[in-house]
Amino acid sequence: MNIERLKEIREDKDLKQSDIAKILKTSQKQISFYETGVRVIPIEKLDILANYYNTSIDYLVGRTNERKPYPKK
């Protein structure tokens, strides 16, 4: 998983770890763990972030460089 992307996209939006912690209903320390690879971010949290950033989970984890989300069915 491309953990750097979690930090990059957050910083691109001028957000702090504490801002993302509120969105994910967790602590700032937990966000730090996700961004540094100390802990693996759960799929449920990735789904929330993908919706928030209007992108795909594949983009967040580095499987694609396409930021655009997949079309909804």
> Residue-wise over 16-55: b if at least 16 C-beta within 10 A, else e?
ebeebbeebebeeebbebbbeeeeebeeebbeebbeebeb
Confidence at residue 35, expressed as pLDDT on a 0 to 100 scale: 94
State yes or no: pLDDT of 1 exceeds 80. Answer: no
What average pLDDT does the segment 9-20 reach? 97
Least confident of 10-14, 32-36, 51-55, 68-72: 68-72
Assigned CATH class of 3-60: mainly alpha
Q: Which residue has the tokens 């998983």?
A: 1
Confidence at residue 3, expressed as pLDDT on a 0 to 100 scale: 79
pLDDT digits (tens, 9 = 90+) for 17-59: 999 999 999 999 999 999 999 999 999 999 999 999 999 999 9
